Structure 1
Amino acid sequence: MTDWARLRDDGYVVPEDRSVDELVAELAGMLRSPDPTVRDRQAYAILATWIGRGVFSDHQLRALGDAMVPRFGDSEVQVRTFAPLILDAIVSAGVFEASWVPPFERWYVAEEDLRGYDAKLGWLHAVAHGADLLGTLGLHSAVEPVQMLRLGIGRLLTPTGHVLRDMEDDRLGYALAATLTRTELTDADATEWLDPALRAFSNPPAEGIAPEVTNTIRTLRALYVLVDHGIRVPTGAGILTRIPQRDAVKAKITEVIRVVTPYYL
């Protein structure tokens, strides 16, 4: 058996006494673990590092991606929420399958357990982990950017009893900003995805501010800052990238936020 903790501490060197397929299979199984040390600090950290270093062939990456997709329907929350992280690493490494996108979309808007950190399970972070994959897909030429923008606002507006508290709003704001850098977006494309929020906020519930409203406003504030100042995307070699429809998007975000907090802007 491989000592995964030592392997990580020794710089993620790939063992030579086992086949890569065997190593991947064991690590994929460890990703299901409720133990955050096994799942996050070992399985995820090692897989993500090896994917980034090009250890796996495209065929192996596709097989791993295919294995992640059914996990969106798993009964255990940590299994569901770590699947998008692995898919994000795979797509970022250059391997993409269109069949991975619809199951991710269905899970992202429907996920009910939005806890960031749990004392026993560790980091779950459904919104943040899903945002990472959303942003990567939003930059991918094979994915319609409007599709990801609508997915983001759909996630935010889905009724929930949970107020985000672990920087999920910033992660999703970044993903939306990255998607908005796509040059093929028209002014309408870049702004009309916010119309559902405008409609929802125009009819506030009598019983007070719902958690999804708070989550949406905070995310849009983070997005506003990124749209205003520009964003560094992974494909941009560290260069600050401007949102082509910067002024139109800022105006639309302001319109949405003003409905809830007219004193703010």
Structure 2
Amino acid sequence: METPTTARPYGPDVRAVSGAARAAALDALAVDLRSPDPAVRDERAYLAAVRWIPELGPEERHHLGDLMAARLTDPAVQARAFAPLILARIAETGDWRRRWWLAFSAWYPAETDLRGHDPALGWLHAAAHGADLIAVLARRPGQPPLRLAELAAARLLAPTDHLFDAQEDDRIARALALVLSHPDLTEGESVRWLDPAVQAFGAGRPGPVPAWASNTMRTLRMLYVLADRGVHPGPAGEPPRMPAHRDALLDALARTLRIVAPCTG
């Protein structure tokens, strides 16, 4: 395992590297974004990627994006979990490809390792990182917002034994709040994505609450707060965004949560 002082070939500044050395540095960065060592992957490679990506050319970003999309089927959980985080940084620059969406939308609800943190691997956070990508795509022109909301709902309702324990529910709720503030949403679309949750809650039986149900309930409760109060899109100074159809959304969330609320008639 590398020591924290090992010099990385991608360095601190992409503008200082060119030609073959630059291509090699980008590939080295991609390799380290898969590292099982959190000091290499999270503390150095990811922070370097945040600096590098805005300075890369379109072809370089496409190359990195293709690598990350392919990594969503990687056998190593840390590789899969960090791929959407890098795709989000690429999408923020304006670059996005349909094949990346297809890879992401196939992976997100199917991911089975939802641990927030592992003692050896460090932060994994697949559910939260996927939500972060959805939040970025919610602000991208031409991205159908209903498909984003449906994807988040599919992630919540997928069978799992893992109970969110690192604020993944808050991150997914924030992503949904940003999606549901999209001006292109119709009133029907702003609540239609909840239909699978209504059906799943309605089919519940007495007994211990399944992890997926608890995760979904907590996410929808936070979404209710954000829908009522607004969600900050990110950059300081921007006003909070409100749902495109606030009253309809709040009503639908309340009716959905009432199905699983105790002591209601």
Whether these two folds match at TM > 0.5 is yes
Distance 1:13 1:184 in 2: 39
Q: By how many angstroms is 1:117 displaced?
A: 0.3
The 8 Å contact of residues 177 and 223 in structure 2, kept in 1 or not, is answered as: yes
Query: Which secondary structure state, in structure 1, belongs to the residue aligned with residue 72 of structure 2?
Result: helix
Runs ≥4 residues deviating over 2 A:
4-7, 12-20, 205-208, 234-237, 262-265
CA distance in structure 1 between the aligned counterparts of 2:35 and 2:67, rounded to whole angstroms: 16
Instruction: Describe how 1:173-252 pairs up with structure 2 within 5 A.
Output: 173-234=173-234, 238-252=238-252
User: Residues 109-152 of structure 1, C-alpha deviation per residue, up to 9 Å, x if partnerless?
Assistant: 00000000000000000100000011112222222110010000
2:3 aligned partner? none
Residue pair 1:138, 1:179 contacting (<8 A) in 2 also: yes
Aligned Cα root-mean-square deviation (Å): 2.2
TM-score by length of 2: 0.92
Quote the Cα distance in structure 2 between the aligned partners of 1:142 and 1:234: 20
Alpha-carbon distance between aligned partners in 1 of 2:186 and 2:108, rounded to the nearest angstrom: 25
Secondary structure at the aligned position of 2:259 is classed as: helix
Residue type matched to 1:204 in 2?
G
1:166 aligned partner:
166
Q: Where do 5+ consecutive residues of structure 1 fail to align? A: none
Counterpart CA distance in 1 for 2:108 and 2:93 is: 22
Deviations 1:42-64 (A, max 9, x none): 1111101222xx32111111111
State the identity as a percent.
39
Gaps of 5+ in 2: 1-5
Preserved CA contact (<8 Å) 1:61 1:90: yes
Contact in 1 for aligned 2:9/2:25 (Cα 8 Å): no
CA displacement 1:145-179 (0-9 Å, x = unmatched): 10010000110000100000001001000000010
Moved more, 144-153 or 230-239: 230-239
Asked if structure 2 preserves the Cα contact closer than 8 Å seen for 1:232 and 1:238, the reply is: yes
Aligned to 2:64: 64
In structure 2, the residue matched to 1:136 is 136
Provide the rounded CA distance (Å) in 2 between the counterparts of 1:38 and 1:205: 46
Tell me whether 1:3 sits opposite 2:7 in the alignment: yes
SS in 2 for 1:199: helix
- Distance 1:215-1:92 versus aligned 2 partners, 3 A rule: same
1:37 to 36, 39, 43: 39
Residues 53-132 of structure 1 mapped to structure 2, 5 A cutoff: 54-132=54-132
1:5·1:42 contact (CA, 8 Å) conserved in 2?
A: no
Inter-partner Cα distance in structure 1 for 2:126 and 2:216: 16
**How many residue pairs are counted as aligned between the two chains?**
259
CA contact (8 A) 2:115 2:162 kept: yes
